Every structure is written in structure tokens, then in C-alpha cells.
A and B are shown apart, each in its own frame.
Chain A
């Protein structure tokens, strides 16, 4: 990186300022190839007012043309109200998109798209950027026709099986809570080695929303569930795969499990299970069954496809761990992060996300020297249980290579492990539940790269 490169808003020296920044870059590129005529053409274009940069040498002497020349939005009439009935992000934000990782899946219906964590602030994921994982494609279901059934694997496990309409569920006393949802396979591509370039792809099967719904306990009480014998719950979706997962009754009894219809103040997005999904705080996303149609209480776990064939963790020695559900304490620096390039030396705010499926994040430490020395980061309010927590730390980049890492500790005292510590116990073929410390290498060029240390 050329450290004379001016970041946004900095005054430029002549003569580069005749040109737009793109033009400057082109000039240098062309100059290296000895094509001086390009420079002449570019200058001519600039003088003719043919480029976006209306700046002149005179403007440099006086100040920033963005200040000195009043822009159209300061001198004209803006757009009317309700130009968009449902507002959209600025057109300058078009790069902020959820994206699939090329080659990860062969179909687009049984697939995943990753949330752009590197571009998000705070702890809430905008609903349109929430990561997606579908097993058989998504649907937009008519809520007036959607039903939720509560029954038992055995008729004696509850007083009576019940059916609810959405109208009825939305009449019941509701709660609204912020929780993260993370796919059990998040960071799964990185068990053995570095596989993807940015935190969107390493950690983007992670999102956080305010969910609104009814505690599942309320519905089970209405059905007269025999809590002594019914210690397991099967949740089932209404979509093609009719996704099923077993959930422990303990989480229902705690009041944490919600039958949710709201997300960030609006209804769930179709990609997130509109009109109804299960919210199982602290547990991997596959258990948060979308398009929720049925809940069955039972006296045994169910051995479903996504708890005996998928979402099983292969351990050294060849055993699969089944029913691994809790998302253990984890964190990642999102800025600066892989695939980015720092604009200049000097001050930066390191910022990232921490979370734990076992409760609140207690502390986050950050290192810039690859783990030799650590400093404790600030935690932004609010810090909530089983929810993303934003951390920040001041950093002066001296232009030398640096390795950034973050390490979270939750309220149980569990410390997020390094890749080495995690692999020592679980090997490299688990696929699921990789909560290792993430390393980002900041090169002298300013480029940030995904690396693993040893």
C-alpha cells in the first residue's frame, strides 16, 4: 500500500486532483506501461469537465470541493414521502448482500447463503440480510391457512392434542427477545485449513434478531402436557423436507423456547419461516424449525435425519456425537477482517461479535500480535443472554504485519479455544461446532487475509 494514498475526504495534492481517483489509478497503471498519451487524454478530459471530479488545483488550495461546491442535494428539492412503501437501503450499499459460497452446494434449494457480517454494526441483523439455510427450498405461506398442532407420541402424554390458527397464536400473551441463531456448521469449512477468504463465509451462518412470539410452555400447558414423562419435544416444519429435530423439555420449561411470528418488529421473513418458527435460544439453527406446523411431546429422542446422519460431529476414534445442540462460546473480529484492505496507517477501531449458547458473554480479549499479548475489549450495551454482543478496541496500526484475534469468555467461565486446542480434542473432521479463535493477518500492504496459525 502506498501510504501517501489519500483516504476519503483528505485534501489531495496537485496534479492528481485533476482526475477522479479511478482516473489517477489508471494514470499510474498506464504510466507504468509507458503510455504517456493516456495521461494527456485524461488531462484533456478533466479540463473539459468530462470526469466526475470537478476539482481543480485552485480548489485544492482553498479546500475540499465537496465542501466548497454545494452539491445538488443541498441546492435542490428531494424526493417525496412514501416514494417506497417499504423502504430500501441506499443505492450505495448495493455491495452489502448475503451470498452463497461457490461450490459449497450443487443445488440452490438445499443450500446456504451467508450474512455479510463484515458490513454490519451493533448486534441486530437486518432481516433481509439474515443468513439462509434451506433443505428443500423456501416458501411464502398464506398465514390464514397455516396451522400449528400440538400432540403426543402417545395419547397419554397430554390431556388433548390441540390445533391453533395464526390468529389465535397472535392473540396469546407475547414476549420479544433478542437472540442469536447460528448454524451448527458455521465455520465448518475451516476445520482442517483455511478455505474461504472473508468473515462472511467463515462466520456468516450467524444472525441475530429480536423475535416476538409465545413461550411454548403456554401452549403445552393448554394441552395439559405430562411434564414428568414427556421429556422430549419433536418440532416439525410444513415445508417439503418437513424438517424435524428433538428439543429437550428442560428448555421449554425454562420459558426460553418461543413459537415466534415476529422478527425485528415485522413478521418473520419467508426465508426465515414465515409465518411461524421455533426459537430455541443457544441451540444451533437447525432446531429452530421454520414453517412450524407440529410439536410432538415424547418420552424418547427421535433420531431424525438431522440428528443422526447430519449435524453429527465425527470424533477421533470414529464415533459420531449425536444430539450436539448447544452453540458454545465463540467470537470473531469483523472489522478489520479477511478480504478487506486498510486505507492508511493510524487509528482503527477493532470491532467484532461474541456469543454463547450457554448465557451471557462475560469478557472478550483481543490480540494484535497473534496471541502473545491480549487486551480486554469494551462490550457494547446491551449484553444479553444467548445473544450477539458487540465488542470494540482501540488500535493504532503502525503499518507492520499484525495478526488479529478475539477470544470470548462466557458467564459459565468457558473460554473460547484456539484452533490447536479445539483440534487436540475433536480432530479436524467434525464439520460441525467449530468455535475456534479466528485469525486475520494484516499485511504491510494493508490487505487482511484469513490465516490459521500453528
Chain B
């Protein structure tokens, strides 16, 4: 390609034209039209006016069956559990359903706030169950199953009767029975747009006094001494150089430091060596991969109880049992309830080979590496 001043000028003109084009926000080659199938696949949101709600139906009874297999392990059989998430059900009354205001929201003595106490729109429940539940397998419920689970949840709060069938045709009527449907407001200055609330109407108005200000520098609240070490030893949570150090919260509050604070910065100790394990390392790795694949760690800690027992706790409990591997494989497969507490563990759809790997790993002491 030859070049001359004339051609260069033309090229510059073309560049300038490009600049104009970008000001008009045209970017050739960038972005393409979404196909109807693509929009359908992703556009799953359901608004309070039920725009986006697919047709379908499900009964309370069907919902209960799904609930007990897929939901109860986190939320409790009656949506009442506080062990994993805040309770879904409780705190609402028949009178609230009439008024649309949950009276207990005014009772500071009532422990916590359940989902049904807060939810002002039933669309929100449907939308979230559809997009995000079950917690470890989101978007796995079919449309009718979402209706059924929503119906069961609503029945637990007495919002619909036990023989109710929820559908796209009657969900607007259910909205009129939501216990806290009138319990919300957007009259505040914290929406950064014009469509909601009261822009600029700050509710808390403080002034910036500088001298001899009216104050009460009396300590009204501080951490009790027994909670001193609750967040771990604070000495290990502060930089080892600079104007301050962390307080050694393993020592009593107010303990005089009789010696100088350690000024020699010591890097964290190397991780403790792995304990001797019965299972071969490759088997351990396979088991750990399965824990991840099947989201087992959502409910079980390695050492400690979360929702269910820690793996080490399971290993310890059955350590002396000669058929531990077979027993544990069967328990994982069938699920269960009662041995470790009231929260049921759902049946786990693992292959026999996977069951053997996991049960063998547990029976071998559940080594962490």
C-alpha cells in the first residue's frame, strides 16, 4: 500500500468520521440480537404484577412431598427451622391476613423476623424459589413444582388452606391475603432515582457542633469480658509492625503488660503436618472432590457440626463398627433423621461407586488431605 499526504489526509478524515460515529453510539461488530429462545431461557423474573409468571399449578399436598425431600433439610419440615437460615414461617396471624400488617413487627420481644412476616408480595416467593431453590441445586424445580412448593409454604402460614391448588389464575387473589402486604413503605430519601420515595427528604438530621457540645461520654455498651476472645485472638488479627499491636485476648481484660510487647515479627506458623490416615491419598482426593461435587459441605463441616454432623464426628462415631463402610453408604443413599438431630438429611442420588468412595473415606477417619 502506497502512501501520500493526500491519502494520509483521507485516512485522518475517516478517523474523524469514526469519532463522530462513536459519539452516536454505533459500534459495528459489537453485540448481536438475542434470539427468542435465548431470551426465554434467561428471562425468568416475575414482577409483583405477575408479569413473567409462567402458566402452571401445584397443590399444597404436592408441595409438601417436594418440601420434605428437598427443602426440609435446611428450612425444617414446617419452615420453622433456625438452624441454617432464618425461619420462613411463624409470627403471622389470621388477623394479619385481614389487615395486611403483621402486628408482631411491633413486638421487640419477638425473636427474629420470618420470611412470611416480611414478604409483602407473593411474586417474590415464587420468583426466588424458581431461580434459587433448592439451595444446593437451584433452578432444578419444574414450573408446577414451584407452584406446589409456594403453595405449601403459604399453607404453613395459614394464608391458603391445606387443600389449595395455587396457579397463575388465582395467585393474584393470594396476594390479597399476604400478611404483610401493607407493611412496607418507600417514603424515604434512599432511592437514588425519582420514581420511588421522597428524594432529598433526609430523615436523620444531625448538626456538626465543634466546641463544648452537648454529649454524654458515658460508656453505655461494650463487649463483656467473657466475649473478649469470641472473634479469635485479636493479637493475630493486627499487623505486627506500626503504631499499634493487637490485644492478646487470650489474656484477661485489663491485664497489665509486665513485659514489652513482642516486637519481633513472626510469620504465621506453617500448617500442622497431616495426620496419619487410613485411606490412600488418591482415595482421599476423590472423596474430597465428591464432597464438592455434591455440595456436601453446604451442610457438613470437616470437623464440626453445621447443619449435620462434621465428617470427623461421623468417622469417630462409627470408627469401631466393622461394617462401617456399608452402613455409611446406605445412610448416605437413603438419607435419615434423628441420629444427629431433628433436621433430616435428604436421600443423596449418588452412584454406587461414589457411595463406596465416600463411605470408605468416612470409615477411614475422614482425612482432610
Q: How far is the CA of A244 from the CA of B221 in the complex (A)?
A: 37
The chain A residue with its CB closest to the CB of B84 is A106
A252 to chain B, nearest CB (A): 10
Q: Which of B32, B192, B236, B259 contacts A21 (CB 8 A)?
A: B259
A94 with B188, Cβ < 8 A, contacts A300-B49, A340-B244 known: no
Q: Which of A102, A282, A433 contacts B231 (CB 8 A)?
A: A102
Residues A158-204 near B (CB distance < 8 A): 160-164, 168, 171-173, 193-198, 200-201
A200 with B237, Cβ < 8 A, contacts A21-B260, A422-B204 known: yes
B4 to chain A, nearest CB (A): 31
Q: B273 at interface (Cβ–Cβ under 8 A)?
A: no
A95 with B254, Cβ < 8 A, contacts A323-B186, A370-B217, A373-B210 known: no
Q: A267 at interface (Cβ–Cβ under 8 A)?
A: no
User: Which of A68-76, A123-131, A228-236 participates in binding chain B?
Assistant: A228-236
B interface residue numbers (CB < 8 A to A): 22, 25-27, 29-34, 38-39, 42-45, 47-49, 51-52, 83-85, 101-103, 105-106, 108, 113, 115, 118-121, 123-124, 127-128, 131-132, 135, 138-139, 180, 183-197, 202-213, 215-223, 228, 230-232, 234, 236-247, 249, 253-254, 256-265, 267-268, 297-299, 306-307
Q: Which of B119, B206, B306 contacts A106 (CB 8 A)?
A: B306
A454 with B246, Cβ < 8 A, contacts A119-B239, A304-B124 known: no
Q: A335 at interface (Cβ–Cβ under 8 A)?
A: yes
A21 with B131, Cβ < 8 A, contacts A300-B48, A341-B246, A453-B217 known: no
Please name all residues of chain B whose beta carbon is closer than 8 Å to the beta carbon of A103 when the two chains form the complex.
Answer: 230
Docked-complex contact A449 and B113, CB < 8 angstroms: no
Q: How far is the CA of A174 from the CA of B243 in the complex (A)?
A: 40
Q: A248 at interface (Cβ–Cβ under 8 A)?
A: yes
Q: Which of B34, B204, B213, B260 contacts A426 (CB 8 A)?
A: B204
Q: A399 at interface (Cβ–Cβ under 8 A)?
A: no
B239 to chain A, nearest CB (A): 5
The chain A residue with its CB closest to the CB of B189 is A326
Q: How far is the CA of A164 from the CA of B33 in the complex (A)?
A: 9
Please name all residues of chain A whose beta carbon is closer than 8 Å to the beta carbon of B247 when the two chains form the complex.
Answer: 339-341, 447-448
Please name all residues of chain A whose beta carbon is closer than 8 Å to the beta carbon of B267 when the two chains form the complex.
Answer: 91-92, 94
Number of A-B contacts (CB under 8 A): 399
Docked-complex contact B138 and A136, CB < 8 angstroms: yes
Docked-complex contact A2 and B237, CB < 8 angstroms: no
Q: A309 at interface (Cβ–Cβ under 8 A)?
A: yes
The chain A residue with its CB closest to the CB of B307 is A106
A324 with B190, Cβ < 8 A, contacts A305-B127, A425-B204 known: yes
Q: A151 at interface (Cβ–Cβ under 8 A)?
A: yes
Q: Which of A92, A325, A409 contacts B190 (CB 8 A)?
A: A325
Docked-complex contact A320 and B217, CB < 8 angstroms: no
Q: How far is the CA of A251 from the CA of B194 in the complex (A)?
A: 10
Docked-complex contact A162 and B34, CB < 8 angstroms: yes
Q: Which of B45, B108, B204, B299 contacts A244 (CB 8 A)?
A: B45
Docked-complex contact B42 and A293, CB < 8 angstroms: yes
Please name all residues of chain B whose beta carbon is closer than 8 Å to the beta carbon of A315 when the two chains form the complex.
Answer: 185
The chain B residue with its CB closest to the CB of A433 is B190
- For the complex of A and B, the 5 pairs showing the least CB-CB separation, nearest first, are A248-B193, A370-B217, A25-B259, A454-B220, A340-B244
Please name all residues of chain B whose beta carbon is closer than 8 Å to the beta carbon of A154 when the two chains form the complex.
Answer: 51
Q: Which of A24, A149, A415, A449 contacts B260 (CB 8 A)?
A: A24
A248 with B191, Cβ < 8 A, contacts A106-B306, A309-B118 known: yes
Q: A349 at interface (Cβ–Cβ under 8 A)?
A: yes
Please name all residues of chain B whose beta carbon is closer than 8 Å to the beta carbon of A248 when the two chains form the complex.
Answer: 191-196
B305 to chain A, nearest CB (A): 10
Interface centre among B118, B123, B239, B260 (most CB of A within 10 A): B260
Interface size on A, residues (CB 8 A): 151
A309 to chain B, nearest CB (A): 5
A320 with B185, Cβ < 8 A, contacts A197-B234, A426-B203 known: yes
Q: How far is the CA of A311 from the CA of B239 in the complex (A)?
A: 33
The chain A residue with its CB closest to the CB of B88 is A309
Please name all residues of chain A whose beta carbon is closer than 8 Å to the beta carbon of B132 when the two chains form the complex.
Answer: 135-136, 240-242, 305
B145 to chain A, nearest CB (A): 17
Q: Which of B101, B211, B257, B263 contacts A374 (CB 8 A)?
A: B211
Q: How far is the CA of A403 from the CA of B113 in the complex (A)?
A: 35
The chain B residue with its CB closest to the CB of A240 is B138
Main secondary structure of the interface of B (DSSP, over half): loop
Contact with B along A327-363 (1 / 0, CB 8 A): 0100000011001111100001100000001000001
Docked-complex contact B220 and A452, CB < 8 angstroms: yes
Please name all residues of chain B whose beta carbon is closer than 8 Å to the beta carbon of A403 when the two chains form the complex.
Answer: 217
Q: A262 at interface (Cβ–Cβ under 8 A)?
A: no
A266 to chain B, nearest CB (A): 23
Docked-complex contact A321 and B190, CB < 8 angstroms: yes
Q: A269 at interface (Cβ–Cβ under 8 A)?
A: no
A442 to chain B, nearest CB (A): 10
A368 to chain B, nearest CB (A): 11
Q: List 21 A-B contacts (CB under 8 A).
A: A2-B256, A95-B246, A99-B232, A116-B237, A163-B32, A163-B38, A195-B223, A223-B31, A242-B131, A244-B127, A250-B192, A303-B123, A320-B183, A321-B185, A324-B190, A339-B249, A341-B246, A341-B257, A369-B217, A415-B206, A417-B204
Please name all residues of chain A whose beta carbon is closer than 8 Å to the beta carbon of B212 when the two chains form the complex.
Answer: 372-373
Q: Which of B51, B123, B260 contacts A6 (CB 8 A)?
A: B260
Q: How far is the CA of A48 from the CA of B207 in the complex (A)?
A: 65
The chain B residue with its CB closest to the CB of A310 is B118
Q: How far is the CA of A422 from the CA of B195 in the complex (A)?
A: 26
Docked-complex contact B221 and A451, CB < 8 angstroms: yes
Please name all residues of chain B whose beta carbon is closer than 8 Å to the beta carbon of A93 when the two chains form the complex.
Answer: 239
Docked-complex contact A320 and B118, CB < 8 angstroms: yes
Please name all residues of chain B whose beta carbon is closer than 8 Å to the beta carbon of A445 when the two chains form the complex.
Answer: 254, 256-257
Q: How far is the CA of A309 from the CA of B184 in the complex (A)?
A: 10
A449 to chain B, nearest CB (A): 6
Q: A212 at interface (Cβ–Cβ under 8 A)?
A: no
Docked-complex contact A163 and B243, CB < 8 angstroms: no
Q: How far is the CA of A416 from the CA of B208 in the complex (A)?
A: 9
Q: A22 at interface (Cβ–Cβ under 8 A)?
A: yes
Q: What 4 additional pairs, Cβ within 8 angstroms, besides A168-B31, A342-B244?
A: A222-B25, A309-B128, A374-B211, A451-B219
Interface centre among A1, A96, A318, A325 (most CB of B within 10 A): A318
Docked-complex contact B254 and A443, CB < 8 angstroms: yes
Docked-complex contact A374 and B210, CB < 8 angstroms: yes
Q: A107 at interface (Cβ–Cβ under 8 A)?
A: yes
The chain B residue with its CB closest to the CB of A12 is B260
Q: A32 at interface (Cβ–Cβ under 8 A)?
A: yes
Docked-complex contact B32 and A162, CB < 8 angstroms: yes
